[in-house]
Chains A and B, each alone.
Chain A
């Protein structure tokens, strides 16, 4: 790859979201906006290697895309409405005025783009793909590789998502007031899903894919700047920063998974912990009713503050889980709470809670249920039962590294003498 090509890609990474966001405002069509932005990129790829990268590449791309938009709309004699929209947007075509016009609206443009990319009419898969594509500036191929899927699958998801948005006539206004948090939660969900796929890959041979975590963190940090008045956005950022601080301690020397309490805490990334705790403080300072991300961040913060596993404030963590169960009503959270309870009050107390979850349909094929249950049984010296549970967990786990660890733990139950 030539140096200029790499530089153009870097410019794209920096500019694409605001470019597409600005174009969406003008043409009111995500598909068209993205096409126009892509065409401007192609033109840049052709011209910049000889002419050099312009001083303000963002404004250059915008001017190029806007000219193309006007040309195309004229050629196709598209509906008056869209044409008028361009005229009405009244953007100057070149120079510093254009730059200012883009800059002034950039916050709104980005927020609008995020809300559209994560619109509730779209499936979660579609939201994730579209968000990475439109806001992250990732190519279809990069998204496909990140999710270990064939490229055509992702390409199709994106095409369908854009079509769905057009057909559903999704409004382009940024909702205000009480509607905003509801729409935002759909964005937060998609961002956290991207993060989690990087933090605990559901598929493949690698236990983590840090580049996905970095991408999600970047999106979260951008979002926190766009809507600083929303506590849950800071809560999510805090949660991701603190979890990401453990990424390098989470994987052992030969790629194996290392669980939280077994991690070498000196390898935790103090810069990210510091950032995470600061974001948590921002969320809490807004004095809004605690949301699930902020509570999870507070739990993560308890771990981050403990210099050794033994110093963990399990009582506080149990209390936070109580709140989280209340908020989410999620059986997965209830399972996590059982782990916290076992740490605070012993494995028997934990086992009692887990046994109550065994018939929960939502957890029927969730590998962590038998994994946790097996762990409690092992701690109680019920090794035979423990081994069976851990083997069952291994059979349900999708990630190869996680499966290995579960089988190892199951094997440990065999060799350990009965106590």
Chain B
């Protein structure tokens, strides 16, 4: 399974301040461990919300708002995508990360396409099969 780890930001990361050299070193070591264990699929840090944009959808209208945004409660400063066998394994990995100061880091399993497969109602499934058969027929003709 894949999980996504959301690393929260704070005032400092929003101000574009780099963390201490010590913390950067620890984080690099942690990332290295993840790569060496074959767990890390992807991961990046995100720039402050001042560089972000938001698009609001209402009917056919699209409104673009430039960051930073007034009411941003949870700011995400980075993410990882990990390949693990279980949520427990992901948690064990996350426990080793060099966070501190009461920060709370959220882990969420990424949907497997199979998960949607199970959600498909028999009607939808039949519809899908019908579409496939149709496509197959067209392809062969």
Contact = CB atoms under 8 A, between A and B. Distances in A.
B88 A7 contact: yes
Contacts of B38: 217-222, 225
B113 A271 contact: no
Given A10-B89, A14-B92, A225-B35, 8 more contacts: A107-B36, A218-B83, A219-B38, A222-B36, A253-B117, A254-B129, A267-B113, A271-B42
B110 to A, nearest CB: 10
Interface string A2-28: 000011011101100000000000000
B35 A271 contact: no
Contact of B86 (A6, A225, A253, A262): A6
Interface of A: 6-7, 9-11, 13-14, 57, 107, 214, 217-222, 225, 248, 252-254, 262, 267, 271, 275
Given A14-B37, A275-B41, A7 B92 contact: yes
Most buried by B among A14, A57, A222: A14
Nearest to B29: A103
Interface in B66-107: 81, 83, 85-86, 88-89, 91-93
Contacts of B83: 214, 217-218
Contacts of B36: 107, 222, 225
Contacts of B108: none
Interface residues of B, number: 25
Contact of A10 (B91, B129, B139): B91
13 contacts: A6-B88, A7-B88, A11-B92, A13-B86, A214-B85, A218-B37, A218-B38, A222-B36, A222-B38, A248-B114, A252-B132, A253-B129, A275-B41
A299 B37 CA distance: 27
B128 interface: yes
A269 B48 CA distance: 29
Contact of B113 (A6, A248, A252): A248
Nearest to B40: A221
